[in-house]
Each structure stands twice: as C-alpha cells, then as structure tokens.
C-alpha cells in the first residue's frame, strides 16, 4: 500500500443537507490542484478526503503542499495505510515514523476505530502499539498529556492508517460554493489580501486591474500579474482583465475640480468593475479598502464611490490595521511583491488636498462635465484578458 494524503474537512461538515455538494466541489478542486503532480484518486469517507497516488511517478510532497492551500480543508496529514492487524499497524508505525520517533523525547499513541468489527477497542490498541513502540525506541517516555509526538492510528473500513500529527491547512469553504465576484486588484498590499479573504469564503474571483500607460510602466503591470500569480495557489485559475485607464484620468483632470479627482476616479473604477461583473455573471465587487486609511476611504468617500454600483461591495479588510493586513500578506506570500516600488495609476495624478467629506449630489454634478458612458465604453472596449493557470 502507498503513502497518501488525508484531508480533514473544516466548516464543510457543518453544512447539513448541502454537505454532499460541498464535498463534491471540494474534491473537484483538489483534483484540479493536485493534477500537475500526477494522477491521484480522490474520494471521501467519514469527514475525510483521501488523496491517493494512482501511479508510481506521483509527486506526493507536491500534492501535499498544494492541498494545504485548498480552501475547505482544515488540516492535512500524510499517512501510510496497512492491513487491519495489530502487528501490521505496529510495523508500519515503527518504520514509517521512525525518524519522528527517534527525534522525539516523549510520545503517545491515539487510536480511532471507525470499523467496530476490529477486535480491540481504541484504548487497547493504543496501549498495545504504544507499549511495543516504547520497547523499540527505549529513549522515549510516554506522556499522555503533552507528548512531543502523537502517533495516530485510524482503523477504517478498507485499511488502517498510521500518521503523525496533521498540519493546519487553509480552512475556509471550497471555492465555487460562494458564487463569483470581481476583485479590484492594484499593485498594493491590501487588495491581494482582500482577494484571498473573499476566496477563502468559497468565492470564485475574476480580477480587474486599471492600468494607465504611458503614465504607468510595463513593470507596474507585470507586478500586478505577478501578484495574481501568487494568488493562484489559493484562488485557483484566475483571469486578470486589464483596463486602459489613462483617458479617464486625463478627462477628469481636465474637467473636474482637483480636490475631487481621486473620488471621481474611484467611481469610474467601480463603474468598470460593475460592467465587468455583469458581463461575467458575478454578483459582488471586492476591494482592499480600509476605513480611514486614505482620504478616499472615509465613510463619506466610500458612500460616494459605492453610489455607482448596485452590487454589494465586499471590503474584507475594512476594519483592519495595516499591520494586520501585512501579517496576512506575508502569510499568503504576496507581501514582497506588493512592496516593489512601481507606480500604480492611483499615484499618478494625486490631488494635494483630497476631499475627505464629499457629497454625492455635488460629485454627480461635477461628472456632468464628462461623457461618462462613452469613457466607460471605450475603456471596456480596450480591455485585455490575461489567463493564469
């Protein structure tokens, strides 16, 4: 029998009648993410999803790392199945976990018995395996309260499984169960984190980015694509729609008061994201806005920029401090890319004194000077889609 991966389900198990559809979605996601590491059999039993190599050449370590980033899985463990006999279980534990048993100073065995026809109770099995492991590794002490190493034995229908402690995985809900949303991805720290947080709740994302060449560089565009690539192991396949934004910015600068420049620009971003969402059948927008972080993120400013869309705007980092957002950015692996210095379109024409308490009627009035529909249409026509796998 071959080493395999056990994936423990998180919130999925709370879903009652919908549970089966959650499990099916999750297994599909696992199959897709592990596919590049070889052919695996993926199946579920008793709140666990099994990922079992179906050919010799499978890269189990690669698949294990990929499973850790699949939302819906709360913990993962590598395990070795064996015959459902106490001697086979003991031999497997001795050899399979020998380096962990050698390195630890204290240990215990914890058994679970899903197969009630197995002739020993879980306690008897733990004691028997533990006693013999202690003889084989005499430097160990038994510590049932705070052992350095817990050896897990699970006796299930088809086999017994021996594994070391499971490691924490991504948690959340399977992507695809929460619908689809358009996420506004800039080159900053916040929007990749916001995207990750919403994807974690089971939402499939479409990314939109506004680029303003010649005011923004090729490197700035590449940086955003790099951030999106770094999100793929969490979010799955991503499409990034890149929208040319320079004409809109130039028109605003030419026709609107400087202190409202950023706000009006943000309304155009929301209009374009709304248009894309409707095109792609998405039901919400996602941004990395955090209350009070900058002038365009005061409560009044958020009301003004949210005024142009009837879709819910999800702002998962709204109540977070920068430090908390940075901690997540580091955890998901986007931070180092986010702090590369290239200019975002927002930093190209920044007003010296941005309005922090705008009024929506006044802003609508100012936009009378612009051909809003024409600008939106031309920007949408100029879009380019980059597919990331």
- Which parts are annotated binding residues? 184-185, 209-210, 266, 288, 297
Over the Cα atoms of the chain, what is R_g? 26
DSSP-derived letter for residue 201 is B
Q: Decide if residue 287 touches ligand ATP (CB under 6 A).
A: yes
CB of 201 to Mg ion, least distance (A): 22
Interface residue with ligand ATP among 184, 263, 272, 379 (CB under 6 A) is 184
CA 106, CA 140: separation in Å to the nearest integer? 5
The total of other beta-carbon atoms located within 10 Å of residue 123's CB is 10
Helix then strand count (H, E) for the chain reads 14, 15
Interface residue with ligand ATP among 10, 174, 288, 358 (CB under 6 A) is 288
* Closest of 48, 219, 254 to residue 227, by C-alpha: 219
* Closest of 190, 184, 183 to residue 338, by C-alpha: 190
Beta bridge partners of 163: 79, 152
Q: Which stretch binds Mg ion (CB under 5 A): 29-37, 291-299, 338-346, 348-356?
A: 338-346
- Strands (DSSP E) contained in 47-157 are 48-53, 73-82, 106-113, 141-142, 149-155
CB of 228 to ligand ATP, least distance (A): 11
Q: Decide if residue 186 touches Mg ion (CB under 5 A).
A: yes
Half-sphere exposure of 368 (CA within 13 A, CB side): 6
The total of other beta-carbon atoms located within 10 Å of residue 117's CB is 8
Q: Decide if residue 183 touches Mg ion (CB under 5 A).
A: no
Evaluate whether 293 touches 318 at the Cβ level (below 8 Å).
no
Q: Decide if residue 287 touches Mg ion (CB under 5 A).
A: no
Mark 237-276 with x for binding to ligand ATP (rule: CB under 6 A) and - for no binding.
--------------------------------x-------
CA 151, CA 157: separation in Å to the nearest integer? 20
Segment 330 to 359, residues that bind ligand ATP, using CB under 6 A: 344-346
CA 151, CA 126: separation in Å to the nearest integer? 9
CB of 305 to ligand ATP, least distance (A): 9
CA 335, CA 331: separation in Å to the nearest integer? 8
Q: Which stretch binds Mg ion (CB under 5 A): 19-27, 203-211, 307-315, 341-349?
A: 341-349
Q: Decide if residue 186 touches ligand ATP (CB under 6 A).
A: yes
Q: Decide if residue 314 touches ligand ATP (CB under 6 A).
A: no
Give whichever of 130 and 288 is closer to ligand ATP, judged by the CB atom.
288
Interface residue with ligand ATP among 78, 132, 156, 209 (CB under 6 A) is 209
Give whichever of 49 and 376 is closer to ligand ATP, judged by the CB atom.
376
Q: Decide if residue 210 touches ligand ATP (CB under 6 A).
A: yes
Which residues make up the interface to ligand ATP (CB under 6 A)? 184-186, 188-191, 208-210, 269, 287-289, 293-294, 296, 344-346
């Amino acid at each position: 029998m071959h080493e395999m991966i056990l994936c423990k389900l998180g919130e999925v198990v709370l879903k009652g009648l919908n549970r089966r559809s959650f499990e099916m979605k999750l297994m599909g996601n696992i199959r897709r993410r592990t596919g590049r590491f070889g052919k695996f059999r993926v199946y579920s039993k008793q709140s666990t999803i099994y990922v079992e190599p179906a050919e010799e050449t499978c890269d189990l370590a690669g698949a294990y790392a990929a499973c850790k980033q699949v939302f819906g899985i709360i913990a993962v463990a590598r395990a070795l199945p064996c015959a459902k006999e106490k001697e086979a279980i003991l031999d497997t534990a001795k050899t399979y976990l020998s380096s962990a048993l050698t390195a630890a100073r204290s240990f215990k065995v914890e058994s679970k018995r899903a197969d009630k026809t197995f002739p020993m109770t879980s306690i008897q099995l733990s004691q028997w395996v533990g006693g013999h492991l202690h003889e084989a590794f005499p430097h160990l002490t038994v510590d049932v309260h705070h052992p350095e190493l817990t050896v897990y034995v699970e006796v299930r229908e088809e086999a017994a499984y021996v594994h070391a402690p499971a490691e924490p995985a991504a948690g959340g809900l399977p992507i695809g169960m929460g619908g689809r949303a358009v996420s506004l991805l800039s080159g900053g720290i916040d929007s990749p984190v916001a995207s990750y947080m919403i994807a974690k709740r089971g939402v499939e994302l479409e990314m939109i980015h506004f680029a303003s060449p010649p005011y923004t560089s090729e490197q700035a565009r590449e940086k955003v694509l790099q951030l999106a690539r770094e999100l793929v192991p969490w979010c799955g396949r991503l499409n990034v729609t890149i929208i040319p934004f320079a004409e809109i910015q130039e028109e605003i600068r030419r026709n609107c008061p400087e202190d409202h420049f950023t706000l009006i620009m943000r309304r155009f971003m929301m209009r374009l994201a709304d248009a894309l969402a409707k095109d792609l059948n998405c039901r919400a927008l996602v941004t990395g806005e955090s209350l009070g972080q900058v002038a365009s993120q005061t409560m009044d400013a958020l009301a003004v920029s949210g005024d142009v869309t009837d879709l819910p705007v999800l702002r998962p980092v709204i109540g977070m401090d920068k430090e908390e957002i940075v901690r997540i950015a580091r955890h998901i692996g986007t931070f180092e890319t986010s702090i590369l210095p290239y200019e975002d379109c927002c930093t190209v024409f920044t007003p010296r004194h941005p309005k922090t308490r705008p009024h929506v009627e006044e802003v609508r009035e100012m936009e009378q000077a612009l051909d809003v529909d024409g600008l939106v249409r031309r920007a949408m026509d100029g879009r380019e889609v980059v597919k990331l796998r």
